[in-house]
Amino acid sequence: MGQSNSNNGGGGEGRRHRKNKNSSKSGEIHGRKNSKNDIPDRIAIELERKNFTNIESFSLQATFENICKVDEYGVELIDEESFVSYIGFPEATGFGSMVYRSFSYLAGYPDCKRSNTPLTYEGFLKAVAIYCDKCKDVIKEDRTKLLFDSFSVSEDDKCSKSVCVTENPDLSKIPDDESSKNGTKVTCDDMWSILTGICWITDSELLYFSTKPEQFAAVSANLMSPETIKEIRKITIKVVESMARSDTSLKNLNSAEILKESIKWPVFRDFIRRNTPNIFHGFTPFFYTLFCIGQTLSQNRGSSLIGSHANYWPTLDGPSELLNYENAALLLWMLPKKTTIGRGWNVLYTGSTHGFSMNRFESHVFRYPGPTLILIHAEIVPPKRSSSSSIPITNHNERNSQTILLGAYVADPWRSTSSPKQCFGSEECFLFQLLPTYEVFRTTNKNTNYAYYNPSVGIGFGGLATSGLTSSKIENMMKNSFVLQLDNTLQSGRFKVDPLSGLAPTYSSSTTRSSIDIIFEVLEIEVVGAGGNSAKEKQDKEWRWEEAEATKRKSLRRSSKSVDKEILKLAGIINEDSRSER
């Protein structure tokens, strides 16, 4: 930890002489020296004035004072050792030093250079603004591109054309993607560390909101352990491999070969648009808590990893077999934000608990008025065990794996479809595979065969229960046109993505595999509701009403039978004494 400014001319004096946020005194933010040349940083001034509240600015400066040092020119700056120690990432992630490198790069904005820019208060403020998404009306450049570039290895150590900082710069004239250098790239090994760090951030935040206070110290110690980081890295390497194989030139490389390569910006951009649109989403609450709230005024933040900010993540209402922290993190990278921020998630159905049957599925999932996730953990059936040896069961990506984790995001309430050609859902639905390959399959808008449910057939996505549009005959899973399906026992299924089938696809094809055809036996199924606690309450209310109506109907049937019997007795048709009918 770096020495406090109370020992080097800062600290209390800095606080007493802090200037008003709306002041325009040249060359200063809160009265501190910017650099050895004392050149004003107009972008930092505008960011603080427009996008940081007084308490946020106060906390940011207090944090800076806690960990900064003073160089030979009398300039206050944060060095790598103090920064890495303060943010507290486990060393095994390899992410702490990368974040410092990223901050130093962003500190030079808009003239970003790979050579280390001293992390002065103004540079620190700009990096925090980008990480915490507090750039409104000042930094117009794509935040995701800036973050990618800050981790990148550039051809000429520059991410963009220099922008002259004048007394009154035009802050809107920021280079766009076309004028930015497209040669930036991140090594696959670095990307592995980045994704491990991001996954760890999400895990720590999910843990914070699902753990009792008295248990948090023990659980967080486990989260910091090398064993936990090793497990996270086993998962994130799969994402790195999928990202790299999105580049056609790297498509056929094995894992060891991929780690020697790099991921270019266009490849990363296209990958996250399809698979992980929320990849940097977790930076906002994590770094905001580290730097911009009152808890950061102390150098000792205690056992809390992220602090006491408002819940930014979903909370699960019960135990889950499949939704551990790592799997939840992977899902949060792909899901719509409306289903994640501060939402209550409900475990609606677990096959091993509630029973593997369509009836039990329906009684726990139907009537839920919000989006749901269906997760399927299954064992891949090798060709010799399949019912049709002519069908390829695995491809090269799944050849060495025995299990698969995949599923679907269903944006609309579940309902039964009586016709083999009738489906439900909307274009917000998508399919996904988490392991052993990470990939999302978004809708194509070419048809509306999003989801299918029929008690006598099973569950299907992306096709019809028939072999095609011209047929009305319900086919088994070897002949129908579903992409992902479960039979009506919920114990067997198939995942087939065939761009050469001749049918208009409901969901997109794979970008890393020419085709997919996997038959599996289900180990576990879970359905999680992502509509919030109010959605679960509405579902329970609907089922209570349904049960009450069923009780009424049953009572009326009994009453009707009794009345009919009395009429027959009066007519002499039934003789109670002899207990026989004439």
The contacts found for 84-92 with CB under 8 angstroms, 24 or more apart, are 85/1, 86/1, 86/290, 86/299, 87/290, 88/301, 88/305, 89/197, 89/200, 90/200, 90/223, 90/224, 90/225, 90/226, 90/229, 92/226, 92/229, 92/230
Range from 210-224, 304-318, 410-424 that averages highest in pLDDT? 410-424
Output 499 or 365, whichever has higher pLDDT: 365
- Residue 303 clears pLDDT 50, i.e. is over it: no
- Residue 99 clears pLDDT 50, i.e. is over it: yes
Output 299 or 485, whichever has higher pLDDT: 485
**Considering the chain, what is the average pLDDT of its residues?**
81
Residue 428 has a pLDDT of 96
Least confident of 223-227, 317-321, 491-495, 560-564: 560-564
Burial profile 204-240: b = 16 or more Cβ within 10 angstroms, e = fewer: bbbbbeeeeeeebeebbeebbeeebbeebbebbbbbb
Per DSSP, the three-state class of 480 is coil
Residue 470 has a pLDDT of 59
Q: Work out whether strand 315-316 and strand 344-350 pair parallel, antiparallel, or are unpaired.
A: parallel
- Residue 133 clears pLDDT 80, i.e. is over it: yes
Least confident of 267-276, 309-318, 484-493, 552-561: 552-561
- Residue 181 clears pLDDT 60, i.e. is over it: no
What backbone torsions phi and psi does residue 373 show, to the nearest 5 degrees? Answer: -115, 130
Contact 439, 275 (CB under 8 A): yes
Please name every residue paired with 454 in a beta bridge, in sequence order, or none if there are none: 458
Residue 12 has a pLDDT of 38
Least confident of 40-44, 203-207, 310-314, 341-345: 310-314
Contact 312, 342 (CB under 8 A): yes
CA dist 127 and 382 (Å) reads 51
% the chain with pLDDT above 90: 54
Q: Is the dihedral of CA 360, 362, 365, 371 positive or negative?
A: positive
Average confidence (pLDDT) over 107-112: 89
Residue 79 CB partners (closer than 8 Å, separation 6+): 2, 69, 119
Least confident of 22-36, 216-230, 376-390, 431-445: 22-36
Average confidence (pLDDT) over 32-54: 79
Least confident of 26-40, 81-95, 326-340, 375-389: 26-40
CA dist 383 and 391 (Å) reads 8
CA dist 557 and 554 (Å) reads 5
Q: Residue 13 — very low, low, confident or very high, per pLDDT cuts 50/70/90?
A: very low
Residue 391 has a pLDDT of 41
Residue 501 has a pLDDT of 72
Average confidence (pLDDT) over 42-64: 93
CA dist 93 and 84 (Å) reads 12
Output 468 or 146, whichever has higher pLDDT: 146
Q: What single-letter DSSP state applies at residue 443?
A: B
Contact 186, 268 (CB under 8 A): yes
Output 276 or 549, whichever has higher pLDDT: 276
Residue 306 has a pLDDT of 46
Range from 228-242, 309-323, 543-557 that averages highest in pLDDT? 228-242
Output 533 or 166, whichever has higher pLDDT: 533
Per DSSP, the three-state class of 478 is coil
% the chain with pLDDT above 70: 75
Residue 476 has a pLDDT of 74
Residue 544 CB partners (closer than 8 Å, separation 6+): none
Least confident of 296-300, 444-448, 487-491: 296-300
Q: Residue 467 — very low, low, confident or very high, per pLDDT cuts 50/70/90?
A: low
- Residue 279 clears pLDDT 80, i.e. is over it: yes
- Residue 373 clears pLDDT 90, i.e. is over it: yes
Instruction: Please write the tens of the pLDDT for every residue from 521-532.
Output: 999 999 999 998
Contact 132, 288 (CB under 8 A): yes
What one-character-per-residue DSSP string does 104-120 give? HHHHTTTS-BSSPPPB-
Instruction: Please write the tens of the pLDDT for every residue from 112-126.
Output: 877 667 899 999 999
Contact 4, 16 (CB under 8 A): no
Q: Is the peptide bond before 285 cis (omega within 30 degrees of 0)?
A: no
Instruction: Please write the tens of the pLDDT for every residue from 501-510.
Output: 767 899 999 9
- Residue 204 clears pLDDT 80, i.e. is over it: yes
- Residue 162 clears pLDDT 50, i.e. is over it: no
Residue with tokens 């055809």: 517
Instruction: Please write the tens of the pLDDT for every residue from 415-448.
Output: 998 777 789 999 999 999 999 999 999 999 999 9
